[in-house]
């Protein structure tokens, strides 16, 4: 992104784990109006997601009713599962691993966006 971007990135170091930023992948592969999970789901999977604002979630969690807490838990699980479905449908992980293998790159270098000159 440009130097004037207000997007924040967090370096997530998980030993023994590969971290794949699906928003970055979607921005590279798809042309969408916004790259929210709801719009990505509607475009890729053809299904709309329920949206709960943070105030609604807080209200449901603080209500003390078990069904409200279960609704928030189901909401979180559906959103996490949708991200996995998008990754599976786009074959993002498979193509990234294959590209890293073929070109001899580190997994993170595949998504750095820099071209590397290969000498044969």
Rounded Cα distance, 77 and 94, in Å: 23
User: At 104, which CATH number?
Assistant: 3.30.420.10
Residue 85 scores a pLDDT above 90: yes
Structurally, the chain folds into a number of domains equal to: 1
Cβ neighbours of 46 (radius 10 Å): 8
- For residue 58, give its domain range: 22-110
Q: Is the Cα dihedral 49, 55, 61, 65 positive or negative?
A: negative
Report if residue 7 sits inside a domain.
no
Q: Number of helices and strands (H, E) in the chain? A: 6, 0
Asked whether residue 61 carries a pLDDT value surpassing 70, the answer given is yes
Is 5 contained in some domain?
A: no
Rounded alpha-carbon distances, angstroms, from residue 86 to 29, 47, 74: 12, 11, 18
Is 60 inside a domain boundary? yes
Per-residue pLDDT tens digits for 13-45: 778 877 778 888 888 888 888 889 999 999 999
Q: What span, in angstroms and rounded, lies between the C-alpha atoms of 65 and 59?
A: 11
The predicted structure's pLDDT at residue 99? 85
């Amino acid at each position: 992104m440009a130097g004037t971007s207000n997007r924040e990135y967090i370096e997530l170091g998980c030993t023994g784990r590969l971290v794949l930023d699906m928003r970055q992948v979607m921005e590279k592969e798809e042309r969408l109006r916004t790259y929210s999970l709801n719009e990505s789901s509607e475009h890729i999977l053809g299904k709309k997601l329920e949206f709960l604002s943070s105030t609604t979630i807080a209200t449901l969690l603080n209500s003390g009713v078990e069904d409200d807490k279960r609704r928030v838990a189901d909401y979180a699980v559906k959103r996490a599962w949708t991200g996995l479905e998008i990754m599976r449908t786009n074959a993002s992980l498979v193509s990234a691993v294959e590209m890293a293998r073929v070109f001899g790159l580190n997994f993170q270098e595949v998504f750095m966006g820099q071209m590397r000159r290969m000498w044969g």
